Amino acid sequence: MTAPLITAYYDYRYFEQWYEIASKYGVGEIYSHSAKTAYFPLTVYIYLLFHWMGLRLAGFLKMGASPLNPVVVLIDKIPYIVSFNVIYLILRKRYGYTAGFLWLINISAYSTLAGFQVDLLVALLILASMMYLEEARVDRSFLLASLATSIKQIFVFTGLIPFVVLWRKNGFRVALRKLLIYFILPILALSIPFLLRDPVDFIYKSLFFHGYRYPQDLSLWAIPMYVVVFNVQALPGFITWGWIIPFIIFMALLTVKLVQDPLIERNILYYYIIIVSGMIVLNKVGGLNYLTWLSPLLIAFASRTLGNLSMKLKGISIALPLWSLVLYPFFTFFSATVVGGDIYIVEDSSWEPAEGIFYASYGYYNPLVGLISALKSNPTSYFIFKSLYNAIPATSIAVTLIYNLTIIYVIKIAWRLTRY
């Protein structure tokens, strides 16, 4: 009930800046003037449209048109609220009541919505892309994968699956033409205002920002960061770019497998599971919200299998969000908030007070505020959370390893099932 009305202010402040720049200078100036625009253009367009609608509605209702007005935030989140519900309808209709129920209890969906992340929309587009490819509607599959890429750049690799499927069925020329028309052209069309105005800033902020940033959160590449207790000066330079080598090798191996596979309809889901899981495991940015990309596919996967394997996959679909989005923040961000400690913001390479981020995001009337106050005032609980805070590097390593090993297990199962 609260997820549509709150937001994680850390990212939201940059989104607000986009609107201020667009209002003052025009949409084409956003990448030139913004402090950070680490997304592709469709994210920007969607935010600007719905934020404008939210501000106008709040003004019309005479509620005060401030960006963090709950009405404005609610309107901002309409695309993601709709995505959440459409994913539910697809899963329930296509894979059964249990699949729909597993989505409704999936913590990653609510956490992503509460934090005002775009990943729910990406998850819907990828699920629909897979579904249309299973139905041999390759043009739509390409287009939806293109829209997902226009939100988050890494999804450019999902275009491999419909491309190879079409290549196998209709030849390389047909596949290449469809790739250009339905996948590459929409991305370029959405990017034209920014490419024409300032191609250097557009490319630098949307692509190179991710190239220079250090690994973070639940990425395996972030483990060295935890080992040195966030002292980035102690890390070798290749830690920021080394991830791309195994990532490209993985995608190359997957492409070869796709080319050699008989590509029966059932295998399409398995390949989407493999490619999205590979993006999460090999990515140097292990964002907590990234699990939302995989969750609908994983639920569909669990619903399609039978017996003990189905039960295992359903258990994983429930456990992974709890592990990454409840336990991990509890050990890190929540413990830092209770003891008034700082957390390291990798994107900005700076330490920030956890309390400040908490209250800026969730306000002073959040139900957790009373709990935090009580935990602070009790010597025993304060000692426990102080110990958890001091152990953040160790607990981060443990949670990261278990999280990624579980997803690797899912890849292993899906890879094996493509043989049958």
**pLDDT score of 64:** 67
- Cβ(301)–Cβ(269) below 8 Å: yes
Residue 62 confidence (pLDDT) above 80: no
Q: Centre a 10 Å sphere on the Cβ of residue 99 and count the other Cβ atoms it contains.
A: 24
Is the distance from CB of 409 to CB of 262 less than 8 angstroms?
Answer: no
Q: Tell me the backbone φ, ψ of residue 318, rounded to 5 degrees.
A: -85, -40
**Cβ contacts of 194-203, under 8 Å, gap ≥ 24:** 194/28, 194/30, 194/31, 194/41, 196/28, 197/28, 197/29, 197/31, 197/32, 198/28, 198/29, 198/31, 198/32, 201/31, 201/32, 202/31
Return d(Cα 134, Cα 95) in angstroms, integer: 14
Partnered with residue 121 across adjacent β-strands are none
Which of 168-172, 194-198, 286-290, 403-407 holds the top average pLDDT?
403-407
What's the pLDDT tens digit per position in 179-222?
Answer: 999 999 999 999 998 998 889 999 888 888 777 889 999 999 99
Q: Is pLDDT at 58 greater than 90 in this prediction?
A: no
At residue 139's C-alpha, the angle toward residues 137 and 145, to 5°, is 105
Token pair listed for 220: 């395996």
Tell me the one-letter amino acid at 165. Answer: V
205 DSSP 8-state letter: I
- For tokens 């966030």, what's the residue? 230
CA distance 34 to 213: 17
Q: Would you say residue 21 has pLDDT above 70?
A: yes
DSSP secondary structure code for residue 420 in this structure: -
Residue-wise pLDDT tens digits, 63-114: 766 666 888 889 999 999 999 999 999 999 999 999 999 999 999 999 999 8
- Please name the amino acid found at residue 129: S
User: The pTM is what?
Assistant: 0.93
How high is the pLDDT of residue 296?
A: 97
pLDDT, residue 115, reads: 87
Cα dihedral 325→327→328→332 (10° resolution) = 120
CA distance 117 to 128: 19
Residues ≥6 apart with Cβ < 8 Å to 211: 240, 241
Mean per-residue pLDDT over the chain, rounded? 91
User: Token digits for 286?
Assistant: 């292990």
- For residues 215 and 243, the answer to whether their CB atoms sit within 8 Å is yes
In tens, the pLDDT along 208-264 reads: 877 788 999 999 999 999 999 998 889 888 898 999 999 999 999 999 988 888 767
How far, rounded to the nearest angstrom, does the alpha carbon of residue 118 sit from its chain's CA centroid? 7
Residue-wise burial string across 221-231, b where 16 or more C-beta atoms lie within 10 A, e elsewhere:
bbbbbbeeebe
Alpha-carbon span 258 to 390, nearest angstrom: 46
- The secondary element (H helix, E strand) that includes residue 144 is helix 138-149
What percent of the chain lies above the pLDDT cut of 90? Answer: 66
Query: Are 218 and 286 spatial neighbours (Cβ–Cβ below 8 Å)?
Result: yes
Altogether, the residues listed in the chain come to a count of: 420
The contacts of residue 105 (CB under 8 Å, 6+ apart) are 318
Start-to-end Cα distance in the chain: 43
* Residue 234 tokens, joined: 């102690």
* pLDDT tens sequence across 265-285: 778 999 999 999 999 999 998
Quick one: tokens of 198?
């300032």
Q: Let me know if 249 is exposed, middle or buried by CB neighbors in 10 A (0-12, 13-18, 19+).
A: exposed
- Please list the alpha-helical segments (H only) found in 28-77: 30-33, 41-60, 70-76
Residue 188: per-residue pLDDT = 95
Looking at residue 127, its pLDDT comes to: 98
**Residue 114 carries which side chain, given as an amino acid letter?**
A
Comparing CA positions, the residue from 316, 295, 270 lying closest to residue 413 is 270
Q: Which tokens sit at 238?
A: 């290749």
